[in-house]
Structure formats: C-alpha cells, structure tokens
Chain A
Amino acid sequence: MLNTWNKEQIMEISLSEYKSITAYDELFDANLRPRSAAQPLFDYLNSLDANELLARRQAVETNIMAMGITFTIYSEAGNIDRAWPFDVIPRVMSRAEWDPIQEGLKQRLTALNLFINDLYNKQQIVSDGVFPREVLEGSVNFRPQCVGVTPRFGVWAHICGTDLVRDRDGTVYVLEDNLRVPSGVSYMLENRQIMKRIFPEVFRTTSILPVDDYPTQLYQTLAALSPRPGDQPVIAVLTPGIYNSAYFEHSYLAQQMGAHLVEGQDLLVGTDDRVYMKNIFGLQQVDVIYRRIDDHFLDPEVFSPDSMLGVPGLMRAWRKGNVGIANAPGAGVADDKVVYAFVPQIIRYYLDQDPILANVPSYLCMYPDQCEHVLKNLDKLVVKPANESGGYGMMIGPRADEAERAKFADLIRANPRNYMAQPTLEISTAPTLVDGKLAPRHLDLRPFILQSDKLYVTTGGLTRVALRQGSLVVNSSQGGGSKDTWIVEEMPSC
C-alpha cells in the first residue's frame, strides 16, 4: 500500500500531458507510481501541502537571484544576465543504477585519452586500420601544432562532460563527449546548495550522496599537472572575461579551488618559455592553467593571430613542459560527432574490453551508402554537424518541415564529412513543476569525469531539462533549465 500514489495529498499530476507521451519517466513508472528510488522524495513531498511547495519554489527563485547564479544570453539588444532556471523537483537515480554508469564513463574517458595521445604520436590505431585516415584528415579539431607532444600521464582531456540520455526502453546512451571546455558543473554544485537551503528536511530522511567534493577533486587533478612537483602549484583559471556566458562558472570554480582567476592580459610568457602572472609585485610563475577558452584563441603566435583572449607564447611553454594546460590543446580532436561513432571500436582497440555504456547508432555521411540512407530517411533521423556544440545547427527530422529537410539535404551533399545522423531517441522525462502541476519534461544528464593521475566521476551530474512542453532541447541558451540530481542509497526493504 505504501507505494500507492495518492494524488489528493500533493501536487496534481498533469495527466493529460503524461498520457500523450510514451517516453520513459525517471520518477514514475508506467502507472504513474513513484519508482522505488523516488519513493522517499514523494513521501516527503506528500508531507507538504501544495501551497508550501509553491512557497518554497518562490524561495528558490529569490535565492537564485540573491546568489547571483546567472548565465549570459547574447542578443542584439546587448548581453543579458539571466537567472538560472531551476526546477525544484529533483531527478532521482538509485546508486545501484548509477555505479555501472560511472564505471562506463571512466572506461570511456580512459580510452579516449589513449586515442588522443595515439593520434598526436604514432597513430597506431590508424595504421592498424581501426580508425580511418580520411576521418582524421578531415577533422577540424586536429591540431598539427600538438603533434609529438605527450602531456603528463598521457592525458589530454582532463575534464570531460559527457551527455547521457535514456531511451523509451530505459537504456542509457551516451549522446556526446565534451572534451573541449565543457561547462555546467558549477550549476550542479549550486543546485545542490539551493536544495539544501530550501528543503533541508528531506536530506535528513533520504540518503542522498553528496556532490560537493568536485572542487577538491578538480584541484587535485590540476595540481598533478604541475611541472614543479613538490611545490604548492600556482593554478590559474583562464577565462575569456566577464562577457562570456560561463563567466559565473569560471569565477565560481576559481573561488572554490582557491585558484587565481585570470584573463589573457594577466599572463605573459617570458623569454625562458615559462608562463607568468602579472602580480602587484611583479611576475609570478604559473604552473597549471585550467583554460576556459577554445584552442583557437589560446595563443595568437600559433592559432588565431588576432586573438585578444589568449597569451602569446603559451603553446611554446606548454610544448616545453613548463606549464600544464587542461584540457590540453588539441584534445578536441576526439570531441567530434564523427569520431563519436567510432568510440566503441576505440574502447575495444585500446582496452580490449566491451563498452559498458551504449553508443547511439550513428550514420556517417562520409560513407556513400550511409549517406544515402540518411538522405532517404531525413524525416526519421536527427542530423548533426560534426563540430557544433550547444545544440546549434542540428535538425530533428520528425519535427522539421519539408523546406528545412531540403536545406539539410543540400548541406549534407555539399559537405558529407561534416554531418552524421542518428535515429530519433525518445528521450526520457521527469515530473517538473509547471503551472502548479507535475508535467513531464524531457531531460538529459551531464556527469563530469576527471582524469590525470587518477579518475573521478561526479556523483550524478548536471540534469538539464527542456522547460517547454515537448521540447527536446535542454541547452540553457535555448530555453533549458536544470534540476538537482540525486543519487540515492536505497535502504534495504524489510
């Protein structure tokens, strides 16, 4: 009887919306009863009356404003700082389900780092015929300037944000690996802070695993890259500045780690090929840079010459081993939707293991037969450009009109290497507070994985939710919000 969902007691469920979709729901089973991991949450919600929940939601908004948790939207009317849209109903997953996912993420990043290091050195995987040379040659994120370098521990991508989604049958898929400058972890941390402030009671009655050791883990990951081991390393977070949409996160992480927050103008590379920070008493050597700017802007001597954001000579210092850079320049070569299709083979090749996490079946337009299949099935597939992030430049076939499909067909024919397609997944939902009711909204999960001398995975990650009804786009720049993510230890039932 305990498991019976009593809708009189608490928030009304938007039945009409739930009945109209067939997606897997993270918190409710097919009969709209709470899944067992979510049971304590609903027991708690049941103890509140509806007004109380709304009042707390109000408190959340006030808190978000006061905490100044914002992201920046670029528009013609100037850059607007928006409060971070947050849903109070958390996304809950049991630890039993999470543990294998965590192992799968570690396996994946380990393999990807071996792959990147191989590409910049012997290219064994190419000569062994597992990874096609033409894919490598067509990669826009391969940096010839990095060839021959082996960073410490052979690790290039130290911080990875992997997007996971769940399909209708409950299978969790990796959607993409973000190996360049993945963002969002500060929101994961702040979401938990907000929940603790607003719903302190539930943390007493439910065993929710903490997330707040991430800054310490990040610090250790970075410190391990210092070229001057033994010393207290000088670590700097390199930001493009206050107008970047993730500036909040840059300053937040610097603050949490006790690192320096610097812009390109604050650094210089001396004739000794070391990196220095311009301090009040002169110059101080920097050991590790956690850069939050793209490769192209890192060093105007090597990449984009008109970059105002970077530091001239930085690549020189890095190649000589005088500074650690995370993620290493060129790590983005494995963050490419075409490379993505090869990850299962990459895992098998380097680790001689079967992949723990599933890859979404992918069709690469560079292969004529697969391209043909894509062009014939544009109405069923999601088409993605190989190198865009943030949900830009993609087409969701079943939702596109004839004109848009025609446009994409032309784009694909003009540059097949740049496109891949996947079947449309029916991404899972979770109940979200909409107009006072619990309505299903689609979501994904971005855990963050760290690797230098050891591996670490965040407990859960950042859950991003598409706040518009029916929308599949979870990016904050396009109307997405977020939820706290709970990995809960389930009490053995008697």
Chain B
Amino acid sequence: MLARAAQNLYWMARYLERAENTARLINSTTDVLLDLPHGATLGWDTLIKAVGLDELFSKQYSQANEDSIMRFMIEDEQNPSSILSCVKYARENTRTLRELLPEDLWECINSLYLYLRANANLATTSRRERYLVLNNVIAKRHAIVGLISGVMAHDLAYQFIRLGRNIERADMTTRILDINFAVSIPEDMALYEMSIERLWMSTLKALSAYQTYRRLKAVHVSSKNVIDFLINDEHFPRSLLYCLNEMESCLCVVPFSETVLSTVRNSRTNLLKLLSDNLQNGELHELLDLTQKDLGEINTALNKQYFHAKVGQQQSQSDAEMVQ
C-alpha cells in the first residue's frame, strides 16, 4: 500500500472519530448543564479548554457563550476540529482513497458531509435541533463504521483505519476525563457531593459509558470508580487500556511494527503504573497530560515507520505480496 494512502486512511479515521466524539461531548454537556446546581461553574468554555482549542477560539470570538462556542465547535471551518471541518477533511481524504475502500463508503461519507453542511447552521441555533442533528451525525458515522467493519476487507488498509480510530478515541477520553479538573464546585457539602456525582456522571455519558459502567463496575458513581473504569477497563471500547490494546493488536498484524509496538506498550505500562499509585485529584490531570504526550509519540512513531518511504528501502518480493 502507498505510504500516502496509509496516512490518509489513518487521518480519515481520526477525523471521523473526532467528529463523533465532539458531537457526543456537546450533547452530554448540554445534558449536564441542565442539572447542575447554582454555584457550580461548569461552563461552555470548559469544553473548548478540554479539547485544547481555547486559544484559537479567543482569537476569533470576543464572547464565550453557548452560541459562539457552538458555532465554533460545530460549523466553523476556521476551526480545524469543528465537526464540519472534521467531516470535510475525512471526505477529502476518502476521495483520494476510493480505490482502497468499499464503493458505498464514499457515498456514506459524502452523504454525511452533505447532511451536515445543510444542517450545521440549524444545529447552532436551537438546543433541540442541535440534539437531533448531532445524533444524526453520530448515527451516520456509525453506518460508516459498520460498512468498514462489515464490508471492507480486514487487510492492511483496515488496520490503519483502526489505528487512527483508536488513537483519536484514547486522546478524546483523556480530554473528557480532564474536564472536571477545570470545574470549581460549591463548598456547601451537600451540594458538593451532588455536584461531584453529576460531573462524573456526565463524564460517563460523554463517552456513552454510563450504562456499561453501572453494569460492569458499580451503581454508585464515584470519582475513583469512574477514573478506574475509563482508564483501566478491559472491555469498554473507549477506555484508555482498551484503545491501547486495540492499537497493539493492529500492530501485531502489520509487518515491521516493532518500534511502534514498543511505544504503545510503553505508554500502557506508564499508564497502569501511575494509576496504581492511588491518584489524588490534581495528579489525575498530570497523568492525563503524560498519556497525551505518549499518544503523541505513538503518532510520531507511525509517521516515521510507515508514512514516509525512503530511498534504499527496497521491498522484497514477499513484502510486495503482503501489500496486495
């Protein structure tokens, strides 16, 4: 497979995952805002801080309110991580990859793009419409994932898609887990308890993890349990451990992956070691920072290994066959 094609597949998957995650994050934040007691300051600006876009936002908008932040996160094409931008880039990437992907996949992504372009504006103006539009984005994205897993050959191209999806998913999980770090909570003890529980519940919901958490972990929502679940659960597909395991299993079938594989395994070791140290509140933030750095290193290792073929790196005939 062409190095450039592998890179485009990887980024197509990352963009689609990011679009969906952002849609989920917005929906769950809307949900929790309705429930928080007065005095708690989870604001919309927390959201853009969490996804690391606060600087870009303040360059373009003078006021951080629900309206402007929604416009920025959903339809602003100046924001490379807005849902519309992500879908647009994914579509452009798919265009360069049509020969590697199932035919229907292009139509699916194209129709997601056309839908979003027609409705993004609606989604920024009313909460009710927003909920509907974002849910449709999520559903259409799932149709795409379904096609990829059900119709596409599970060949090398597929592994690069899986790698992109999982690294992006892990990244978003670290960011959503980190949101609560930025929230200040009323000091009134009763309200405090309630707020904390609400916040962690919203974290779970942002990752569609609430139901699974209750089934697999505990009925009561406590910070320790939620953190442990979202970092360390072996079965939940959005936990950090799960994503890293997925990447490991992709790399086990992709040849010449030793270097990247050891980066993935390192970051998993780091994660589990730090977690076992019984985290205090502030330490979670540091742990998540480190994990994000590790994910960056995995990205760099993939770049070096696969996305830039070098002269003198002739492929033997048996490698050529694997590529077919």
Binding site for B on A (CB under 8 A): 65-68, 232, 234, 242, 247, 251-252, 254-255, 258-263, 265-266, 268, 270, 276-285
Contacts and interface: CB of A to CB of B under 8 A. Distances in A.
Contacts of B320: 234, 284-285
B95 A282 contact: no
A260 B156 CA distance: 14
B258 interface: no
Interface string B11-39: 00000000000000000000000000000
Given A66-B114, A262-B2, A284 B315 contact: yes
Contact of B2 (A232, A242, A252, A279): A279
B99 A259 contact: yes
Contact of A242 (B95, B314, B322): B95
Contact of A278 (B4, B110, B114, B322): B4
Q: Which of A66, A232, A265, A284 has the most CB of B within 10 A?
A: A284
Given A255-B103, A260-B99, A266-B2, A281 B92 contact: no
A278 B99 CA distance: 17
B324 interface: yes
Interface string B307-324: 111110111000110111
Nearest to A232: B324
A277 B315 CA distance: 10
B99 A279 contact: no
Contacts of B313: 281-283
A65 B114 CA distance: 8
B111 A280 contact: no
Nearest to A237: B99
B324 A282 contact: no
Given A266-B3, A284-B323, A279 B114 contact: no
Contacts of A262: 2
Contacts of B323: 279-281, 284
A343 to B, nearest CB: 36
Interface size class of B (residues with CB under 8 A): 20 to 34
A251 B1 contact: no
B98 A278 contact: no
Given A65-B114, A265-B4, A279-B1, A251 B95 contact: yes
Given A247-B95, A255-B103, A280-B3, 9 more contacts: A65-B114, A68-B95, A68-B110, A263-B4, A278-B309, A280-B6, A281-B306, A281-B309, A284-B319
B95 A66 contact: no
Contacts of B256: 281
Nearest to B314: A283
9 contacts: A66-B111, A242-B95, A251-B99, A261-B98, A278-B309, A280-B3, A280-B156, A281-B255, A284-B320
A285 B103 CA distance: 27
Interface in B251-275: 255-256
A66 B111 CA distance: 6
A279 B306 CA distance: 8
Given A280-B306, A282-B309, A283-B314, A255 B4 contact: no
